Amino acid sequence: MQRDVKPDARSRRREERRTEMVEAAVEAIREHGPGVSVAQIAAAAGITKPVLYRHFTDRADLQRAVGERAADMLMERIYPVLAVEAEPVEHVAAVIDAFLGGIEDEPQLYRFVVANPAEPAPGAEIVEDVQGRIAALLATLIGERLRAEGRDSGGAEAWARGLIGMVQSAGEWWLDRRTMSRESLTGYLSALIWGGIAGVAGLDAPGADAEVLRLFPVPDPPAGTAAGTPPAR
């Protein structure tokens, strides 16, 4: 009896075409911004809207697929930095910098996924999934350090979730305002996050003197002004 492989071949080709259309959608978003239309996405893929909708049930399905691609792109930045042997504080800083680097390089894509002005609801679960994956990684790092010090690790997951929300909020503010460099924002957030965790848990903060946690140095006081005394106004 001859084995029929045509359905599998068709399925693979259909999946390949869907992937190609998602990549075309990413390019269209880069060009037109988060308010990109389905017609613009179809044009970027070199097809018509009816052909596009043969592969996606509706715009929400397309947005969800783009969100999954954006999530993969972000995690591709984060996983490698955790594979490097480093102190937990350095890993926290590396994750923050990887996240900020991701939204800096793909601002339009990030806005499309997180705050699409046309349809904010579809794809929300993708954002939650990414937040959950990053929080799980950080909770593991924080929890391992606490347990190694003989401390209660019960707050690790809550802290990880909280800091993800803080970094995302600060990152969105920074993306719009750009009042400081990415390196500076990473340093500020890392100092606040790890300093807070270390303080609450009673840990020493290894790496506190490392460059990643060093804030801008306090300038020397003007000549004739005692240290710690503000200059006369």
**pLDDT tens string 170-212:** 999 999 999 999 999 999 998 888 777 777 666 555 444 444 3
Cα–Cα distances in Å, from 68 out to 26, 88, 122, 197, 201?
11, 28, 12, 31, 36
Residue pair 129/71 in contact by the 8 Å Cβ criterion: yes
Instruction: Name which of 168, 159, 167 is nearest 138 in CA terms.
Output: 159
With a pLDDT cut of 90, the percent of the chain lying above it is: 38
Mean predicted confidence (pLDDT) in 164-174: 93
- pLDDT for residue 224: 55
For residue 158, give the nearest of 145, 144, 139 by alpha carbon: 139
Give me the pLDDT at residue 7, please.
Answer: 66
Q: How do residues 24-59 score in pLDDT, each as one tens digit?
A: 999 999 999 999 999 999 999 999 999 999 999 998
